[in-house]
């Protein structure tokens, strides 16, 4: 069963805040990376290129944590621990373009498509535990 995001902190998922995504490396140590994201009311979605370390980590070890810190008050934050429930290439280019417009107001790829050899993937994270401070 998915954990619920408290209304008091939902803005930290609705706003274009760069969040920290924590994944687990092959040796069991954590890896943290700043990422763009969006939230559809149930899933947190992130986008990356296939073959990057976070991609490999999430495919092999699907438990992650997403930390969103309020840029106006660094003592107010939301940590969402979750499990990867989907990895897809379908719609991933459109997703990164949407994220780029959300965060920068600009197109991600100049010609609207990734360079040769790059494959975009979108991950859906289902919240399993939520900590709001």
Q: How many CB atoms lie within 10 A of CB 67?
A: 18
Domain ranges within the chain, ordered by starting residue: 7-109+120-127
pLDDT along the chain (133 residues), means of 10: 92 98 98 97 97 97 98 97 98 97 95 89 98 97
Give the pLDDT score at 112: 77
Residue 91 — left, alpha, or beta (φ > 0 → left; ψ -120 to 50 → alpha)? Answer: left
Give the pLDDT score at 90: 98
Give the pLDDT score at 104: 97
Give the pLDDT score at 39: 97
Q: What is the DSSP string of 49-66?
A: ETTSHHHHHHHH--EEEE
Q: Considering the entire predicted model, what is its pTM?
A: 0.94
Give the pLDDT score at 70: 98
Give the pLDDT score at 113: 83
Question: Does residue 34 contact residue 19 with C-beta atoms inside 8 Å?
Answer: yes
Architecture of the CATH domain 7-109+120-127: Roll (2.30)
Give the pLDDT score at 119: 97
């Amino acid at each position: 069963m998915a954990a619920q995001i408290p209304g008091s902190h939902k803005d930290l998922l609705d706003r274009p805040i760069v969040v920290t995504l924590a994944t687990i490396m092959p040796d069991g140590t954590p890896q943290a990376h700043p990422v763009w994201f969006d939230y559809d009311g149930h899933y947190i979605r992130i986008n990356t290129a296939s073959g990057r370390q976070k991609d490999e980590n999430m495919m092999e070890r699907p438990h992650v944590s997403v930390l969103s810190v309020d840029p106006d008050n660094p003592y107010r934050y939301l940590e969402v621990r979750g499990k990867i429930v989907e990895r897809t290439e379908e719609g991933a280019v459109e997703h990164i373009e949407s994220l780029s417009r959300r965060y920068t107001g600009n197109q991600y790829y100049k010609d609207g498509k990734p360079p040769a050899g790059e494959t975009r993937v979108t991950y859906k994270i289902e919240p399993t535990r939520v900590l709001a401070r």
